[in-house]
Amino acid sequence: MIRIQQLPPTVITKIAAGEVIERPASVVKELLENSLDAGSQRIDIDVEQGGIELIRLVDDGHGIHPEDLTLAFASHATSKLRTADDLFRVSTMGFRGEALASIGSVAQVTLQSRQGSDPYGAEISCHGGELSPVKSWNGSPGTRIEVRHLFFNTPVRRKFLRSIPTEIGHICEAVTRVALANPRVHLLLRHNGKLVYEVPASAGLKERIGLFFGAEVRDQLHIIEAGPATARLSGFIADPACERGNNKLQYLFLNSRWIRDRSLGHAVQEAYRGLIMTGRYPVYFLFLDVPPDSVDVNVHPTKCEVRFRDSQALYALILSVIRDKFRRLDLTPRIPVSTTPTFNPTPAPQPMSPMSPMTSSGFTPAPPPPLPPLPAFTREAAPQQPAAAAPAAPAEDFPLLRSQPVNKVIQLHDAYLVLETPEGMLVIDQHALHERILFEQLKQRIRQGSLETQRLLIPEPVDLRPEEAARVLDQQTPLGELGLGVEDFGGGTVLVTSYPAILGDRSPTNLLRAVVEHLTSHDRAPTREVLLNDLLSLMACHAAVKAGDPLKPEEIDSLIAQRHLAQDTHHCPHGRPTALLFSRHDLDRHFRRI
């Protein structure tokens, strides 16, 4: 016979614990949040054996009243919420009253606390849900909590724990998130008695980022500060050149709480589109502040996922603020010459100066100094005079601008242009730059409806596999908007009837084949905007001069002059840089002139 039974409270708590407490780092996170809610200025954490043996946290917060100690371990007991309406006004990290009950049910916990105004404090233990009597405790104001033998009574969960380095890695991550979101709190983490982090209260956000992720990241940050009344976005985004192979250095905080949000993460990724290669990830530390009633934080047991009332508006805000920031920056990647791999300076006799970094092993090159920011290049200063006729421009659409004579340019390997700029030496990838310029021009023409197309007197048949032909014909309209006219000839053959004039004498068949490859490489049909963007970059790529094309001097001049006209010319549409700057300062330094 099957009957329904009410589960005993101890089992209910253990079930809840399964959601909240996954591993030692979850305990650290919950305890840290309690200390923050208590207004602590300083929090010391000691862990042993990756937190499995011991997690001890000591704070200087407002403490717990002795009579409330037993309640602290009761489930759904909290000092942070009174009514259901309060759920939509939450400004504390906790409010569910679940954490201590959960931790107490799966570990051996001792909680000691004293409120500042009281002459003495009290302590209580909770072992696997069993409460001890309350005793008096003679410690300093604040709270001290020890969590031992996590999962001692749930062997299955204990088995799920990973190696000590993995668990301590998760703990470090939990501490990092809190440290980034709370720059005024002094934090200390020790593992098996050894100091892991100590972050003084004086270290602001940027310094904290440097502390956790190194100077390389810290020195490539751009500040973000945007604050319309409804939502405020602040923090730092790293330069596109600082990209990574994974998304670990992407931090998004909502009202000081670390969150995971696919949509908002996508907004940032989208803002970097074209500036970093596909498959690479930008680095960012962003803080979004919204009124508590515009977000529901009660949709996930650990509150790291939330539901926004208007997530589209936030998406748009993030995208536009970051895009806007990039528009105002010069993003030409700068080469710290010292990292050039092939050049290995032999120790040369050095003019000794008290500043020379000499070590016993010889001369150690000083780390490159922080690079002075380039003045953003001024597009307004670009030449206004109309171009003279282009006798031999690489493509039809390539007006030659002679008004800004560029001296001292050389072409190397028929692929790179090297030129002198006020800042130093610029090396340009001729294909990447031309591709970006054509991309911008095409985009502008399409926006203005003035794209030139070339009709083919005799349409060119292109044989495709039937499913390929279907994919292409599906996109007949957007392709037509880009000047690539295609028609069905039946039997897998597609006729090219027109092509964008920008292609010049390059084969429209090859362009079509590239389009086919692009369309069939995606499972789902891309959105119209993405498709247009992708096709534009394909066309630009096909029409642009290639590496290996020797250029005439006037073509070189033209290309370089155009660099100042098009927007966003530091990166090709696929996100590769178009130019690299070797600064004068670095050159001087490495040739030991300064």
- Using CB under 6 A, list all residues that contact ligand ADP: 30, 34-35, 38, 59, 61-64, 72, 78-80, 94-101, 143
User: In the bound complex, what is the minimum distance in angstroms from residue 264's beta carbon to ligand ADP?
Assistant: 25
User: In the bound complex, what is the minimum distance in angstroms from residue 200's beta carbon to Mg ion?
Assistant: 25
Of 302 and 421, the one with the shorter C-beta distance to Mg ion is 302
User: In the bound complex, what is the minimum distance in angstroms from residue 8's beta carbon to Mg ion?
Assistant: 24
User: In the bound complex, what is the minimum distance in angstroms from residue 257's beta carbon to Mg ion?
Assistant: 12
Is residue 99 a contact point for Mg ion (CB under 5 A)?
A: yes
User: In the bound complex, what is the minimum distance in angstroms from residue 172's beta carbon to Mg ion?
Assistant: 21
Name the token pair of 532: 């247009």
Residue 70 contact, options Mg ion, ligand ADP, none, Cβ 5-8 Å cut-off depending on partner type: none
Neighbours of 247 (CB within 10 A): 12
Parallel, antiparallel or unpaired: strands 409-412 and 257-258: unpaired
Go through the chain and tell me how many residues it has: 594
Point out the residue whose Cβ comes nearest to ligand ADP. Answer: 94
What angle do the packed helices 9-20 and 99-106 form, to 10 degrees?
100
Parallel, antiparallel or unpaired: strands 135-137 and 121-127: antiparallel
Of 99 and 442, the one with the shorter C-beta distance to Mg ion is 99
SS3 content of the chain, % helix, strand, coil (to 5): 35, 25, 40
User: In the bound complex, what is the minimum distance in angstroms from residue 40's beta carbon to ligand ADP?
Assistant: 7
End-to-end CA distance of the chain: 90
Distances (CA, A) of 591 to 308, 337, 348: 56, 11, 11
Of 145 and 209, the one with the shorter C-beta distance to Mg ion is 145
Of 146 and 207, the one with the shorter C-beta distance to ligand ADP is 146
Of 94 and 394, the one with the shorter C-beta distance to Mg ion is 94
Residue 426 contact, options Mg ion, ligand ADP, none, Cβ 5-8 Å cut-off depending on partner type: none
* H-helix segments, 449-507: 466-474, 476-481
Of 27 and 217, the one with the shorter C-beta distance to Mg ion is 27
User: In the bound complex, what is the minimum distance in angstroms from residue 144's beta carbon to ligand ADP?
Assistant: 9
Of 34 and 332, the one with the shorter C-beta distance to ligand ADP is 34
Checking 305-313 for CB contacts under 8 A at 24+ apart, the result is 305/259, 305/260, 305/261, 306/254, 306/259, 306/261, 311/261, 311/263, 311/264, 313/230, 313/231
CA distance 251 to 253: 7
Interface with Mg ion: number of residues (CB under 5 A): 3
Question: CB under 8 Å to 14, separation ≥6 — which residues?
Answer: 105, 106, 129, 154
Residue 80 contact, options Mg ion, ligand ADP, none, Cβ 5-8 Å cut-off depending on partner type: ligand ADP
Of 94 and 485, the one with the shorter C-beta distance to Mg ion is 94
User: In the bound complex, what is the minimum distance in angstroms from residue 235's beta carbon to ligand ADP?
Assistant: 26
Of 178 and 512, the one with the shorter C-beta distance to ligand ADP is 178
Write phi, then psi, for 268 (nearest 5 degrees): -70, -45
Residue 255 contact, options Mg ion, ligand ADP, none, Cβ 5-8 Å cut-off depending on partner type: none
What angle do the packed helices 164-181 and 205-213 form, to 10 degrees?
160
User: In the bound complex, what is the minimum distance in angstroms from residue 77's beta carbon to ligand ADP?
Assistant: 6
User: In the bound complex, what is the minimum distance in angstroms from residue 59's beta carbon to ligand ADP?
Assistant: 5
Of 99 and 540, the one with the shorter C-beta distance to Mg ion is 99
556: which strand partners? none
DSSP one-letter string for 102-150: HHHHHSEEEEEEE-TTSS-EEEEEEETTEEPPPEEE---SEEEEEEEST
Question: Taking contact as CB under 5 A, which single stretch among the options 91-99, 203-211, 255-263, 502-510 is the one that binds Mg ion?
Answer: 91-99
Question: CB under 8 Å to 75, separation ≥6 — which residues?
Answer: 9, 12, 13, 16, 97, 98, 101, 102
Nearest to 427 by CA among 336, 329, 335: 335
Of 34 and 332, the one with the shorter C-beta distance to Mg ion is 34
CA distance 398 to 448: 18
User: In the bound complex, what is the minimum distance in angstroms from residue 166's beta carbon to ligand ADP?
Assistant: 25
Which residues in the 25-54 window bind Mg ion by CB under 5 A? 34
User: Helix, strand, or coil here: 381?
Assistant: coil
- Are 18 and 157 in contact by the 8 Å Cβ rule? The answer is yes
Q: In what order do the strands lie in the sheet with 409-412?
A: 409-412, 416-421, 424-429, 579-583
User: In the bound complex, what is the minimum distance in angstroms from residue 101's beta carbon to ligand ADP?
Assistant: 6
Of 21 and 539, the one with the shorter C-beta distance to Mg ion is 21
User: In the bound complex, what is the minimum distance in angstroms from residue 46's beta carbon to ligand ADP?
Assistant: 15
Of 64 and 337, the one with the shorter C-beta distance to ligand ADP is 64
Question: Taking contact as CB under 5 A, which single stretch among the options 94-102, 229-237, 433-441, 569-577 is the one that binds Mg ion?
Answer: 94-102
User: In the bound complex, what is the minimum distance in angstroms from residue 36's beta carbon to ligand ADP?
Assistant: 9
Checking 134-142 for CB contacts under 8 A at 24+ apart, the result is 134/66, 134/69, 134/70, 136/66, 137/112, 137/113, 139/112, 139/114, 140/60, 140/114, 141/60, 141/63, 141/114, 141/115, 141/116, 142/38, 142/40, 142/58, 142/59, 142/60, 142/61, 142/63, 142/113, 142/114
Residue selected from 51, 63, 94, 394 as contacting Mg ion according to rule CB under 5 A:
94
Give me the residue label for tokens 């996922």: 305
Of 30 and 123, the one with the shorter C-beta distance to ligand ADP is 30
Residue 63 contact, options ligand ADP, Mg ion, none, Cβ 5-8 Å cut-off depending on partner type: ligand ADP
Task: Give the angle 40-143-38 at the CA atoms, nearest 5°.
Answer: 35
Point out the residue whose Cβ comes nearest to Mg ion. Answer: 94
Neighbours of 427 (CB within 10 A): 15
With residue 187 as reference, give the H or E element that holds it: strand 186-191
Residues that bind Mg ion (CB under 5 A): 34, 94, 99
